[in-house]
Structure 1
Amino acid sequence: MKRINVVGSSGSGKSTFSRQLAEALACPYLEMDAMFWKANWQGTSDEEFYTKLEKALNQETWVLDGNYNRTRTIKWAKVDTVIWIDYSLLRTVYQAIKRALYRSITKQELWENTGNVETVRKSFFSKDSMILWTLTNYQKIRSRYLNVFADPQYQHINFIRISSPKMAKAYLKNIAESKP
């Protein structure tokens, strides 16, 4: 396991898991959202995003956090493992709400030098709400990964499905204990 992509619905805990996995493996943690988002919630063009992603993945080892389905051919060209954080809808929405409240209260900048912060209004009362996005896209994302995991085109990739926080904790503990 040298090049890992952690995927899952928004709010599933991809970032937390990815950071912990990268630390356990002593390899770079790469966050797709940090590559995509600019100041004032402006996204990058696909051309710029793909260039940033290709440059970031031009390393021997990494843990990449994020879906961005349109980037699959780039990020999975070198990937050897894909870990799917597949918690229940209830658990995922709970985590998304908890995260949104925490970030709204603390005004934590999400990605360095962007000034982007979550607000109660954006999180709970906006059509751009990540909570709403999670609710409306959860099943679509699950279906996508169920299909991808079964697709012979990707048989060279080691797919791991983690379906509970307990399973995630055990997986990370196993990685940490198996290090020389």
Structure 2
Amino acid sequence: MRIVVIGISGAGKSTLAAQLAQGLGVPHVELDALYWEPGWTMASPAAFAARVEAATAGPAWVADGNYRAVRPLLWGRATHLVWLDYGRPVIMTRVIRRSLLRALSGRELWNGNREHWRNLLEPGHPIRYAWRQWAPRRRELEALLAGGEYPHLSVLRLRSTAELPAARAALLRQAGKG
């Protein structure tokens, strides 16, 4: 299985992807870790694409992220797509809680990067991004999936966190791991 987990910031992509990867015994590919370089510097498009290509070259993996620049590569290789399409109140609660906990703990995210209090008001901060992009991203993904460009993908669209345990169990069972 090659699974991509998508959703807006704060949906729980990385958490679910890590759980699935562990349950399946396959690599977890966290796109943010491949994209963000030290000092919150974005990787060049070529470097990012090369990293994603190398990380997803194997026969099985679970990746999380929504980067348009590598979507054709990633979705083209994937067998399954899990869309965490939760309502805005769920997303905002999660992204705010996550950001505050990260700022408090000072935990390293990727390549030495950490969330800081001073970044909470920046336009690109995940809280502001999630609020601004929730509706447009949903429309974009609906259109993309309805367009038939990726007919090989088995798509699971979860609209409620209550659906998550059954979906996770079904994927593990399908792979013979549950």
1:164 aligns with 2:150: no
Alpha-carbon displacement from aligned partner over 1:40-71 (angstroms, at most 9, x marks no partner): 10011000111111111110100011010121
Which residue pairs with 2:96 in the alignment? 97
**Offset of residue 21 of structure 1:** 1.1
Which residue pairs with 1:110 in the alignment? 109
Alpha-carbon displacement from aligned partner over 1:116-149 (angstroms, at most 9, x marks no partner): 11112212x2223210011011111101111122
Alpha-carbon displacement from aligned partner over 1:98-127 (angstroms, at most 9, x marks no partner): 00011000000001xx2211112212x222
After TM superposition, the score normalised by the length of structure 2 is 0.94
Confirm or deny: 8 A CA contact 1:36 1:43 kept in the other structure.
yes
1:138 aligns with 2:137: no
**Which ranges of structure 1 fall in alignment gaps of 5 or more residues?**
none
Show structure 1 runs of 4+ deviating over 3 A: 173-178
Q: CA RMSD in A?
A: 1.4
After TM superposition, the score normalised by the length of structure 1 is 0.93
Q: Percent identity?
A: 31
Confirm or deny: 8 A CA contact 1:3 1:79 kept in the other structure.
yes
How many residues end up aligned between the 2 structures? 176
**Offset of residue 76 of structure 1:** 1.8
1:119 aligns with 2:116: yes
Which residue pairs with 2:39 in the alignment? 40
Alpha-carbon displacement from aligned partner over 1:154-173 (angstroms, at most 9, x marks no partner): 11211110112211122223
Decide which moves more: 21-30 or 102-111. 21-30
